[in-house]
Amino acid sequence: MLVLADFPWENAADWTGELRRQATMHQIYVPAEIPDRASIDAAVVWKVPVGFFDGMTNLRAIIVPGAGVDQLTGSDAPFPDVPILRLADPIMATRMAEYILSVVLDHHRQLGRYRDQQHRMVWARHFHRDPADIRISILGMGVLGKKVAEYLRMIGYQVAGWSRTPKTLPGIDVVTGEPALLSLAERSDVLVCLLPLTPATRGLLDQRLFDQLPEDALLINAARGAHLVVPDLLSALDRGKPAAAVLDVFDQEPLPSESPLWCHPAVTVTPHIASLSNPITGVQQIVRALDKIDAGEPLEHVVDRRRGY
């Protein structure tokens, strides 16, 4: 097959090289090299400008080299009948679990407070709670959320989840529906967002939800920036509900220099690094998908466009 590959990342050359190395049965082109747009069978793209797919009249699949697909599923999405496939890479889930666990432990064991004390040469010890007394809720119990829950449970935290459809997971209370979300927030010392961005989840992290949180709660958003209503967070932080936020994703990335989030004392900003796509394992999944498309076999990890994820 003829495959168009466009990786808009710092390590794009690694991705293209790895794809060419592994996809021996297919011809891989980058956008500048496309011979004839109508001959492209599949596109491997993260985010595309308007008109990117123009003329690709024989496109059979769009493969996203990441987990989130909101950038390609809007109402103006091209080719409504062409399947969109996502990565469901266990390594990405593990990387996300490491990120969330490191943020939770840093907060729980008050390392920020000790860093601050060190700058002032203060020797003062503070008590911390047992993990079994800390309630952590994960919004989104998919590929990433389930792995995060497993890591947190391993340490002994109390873990609950929220998903669209019911789930039975050992030791984890998973609830569904909006009333359950609000009561879950009431018992969340840490609230972690790992939802896909869809019309139903956009702006979900808002004042109404923050009002339910206990004093001193921590918010972690590692999903998409548009889940969060930033002005609501800023006023909620003033009231201490949540008391702190760790944000890895932003509506506009890179985060603009004028954003108040950069310098807010209760906000930690990381530059969308919670779980980077892995070129080796990611390309393995992409090649597996290309082979299945080529062979006309049933595809895996196909996005449901109506749900948006």
**Closer of 238 and 304 to ligand NAP (Cβ):** 304
Chain position carrying tokens 């919004």: 139
Q: How many C-beta atoms surround the C-beta of residue 228 within 10 A?
A: 24
Q: Binding residue for ligand GLV (CB under 6 A) from 188, 201, 277, 285?
A: 277
If binding is defined by CB under 6 A, does position 172 make contact with ligand NAP?
no
**Closer of 66 and 142 to ligand GLV (Cβ):** 66
Q: Return d(Cα 154, Cα 86) in angstroms, integer.
A: 28
For the CA atoms of 59, 65, 68, 69, what is the dihedral angle to 10 degrees? -10
- Contact segment (CB under 6 A) with ligand NAP among 71-79, 127-135, 228-236, 270-278 equals 270-278
Catalytic residue among 164, 202, 208, 272: 272
The answer to whether residue 95 is catalytic is no
Q: What is the DSSP string of 35-101?
A: S-GGG--EEEES---TTTTTT-TT--EEE-SSS--GGG-STT-S-TTS-EE----HHHHHHHHHHHH
Gyration radius (Cα) of the chain, Å: 21
- Contact segment (CB under 6 A) with ligand GLV among 13-21, 65-73, 105-113, 211-219 equals 65-73
If binding is defined by CB under 6 A, does position 65 make contact with ligand NAP?
no
**Closer of 188 and 277 to ligand GLV (Cβ):** 277
- Contact segment (CB under 6 A) with ligand GLV among 61-69, 132-140, 184-192, 258-266 equals 61-69
**Residues forming the active site:** 224, 272
For ligand GLV, the binding residues (CB under 6 A) are: 66-68, 277
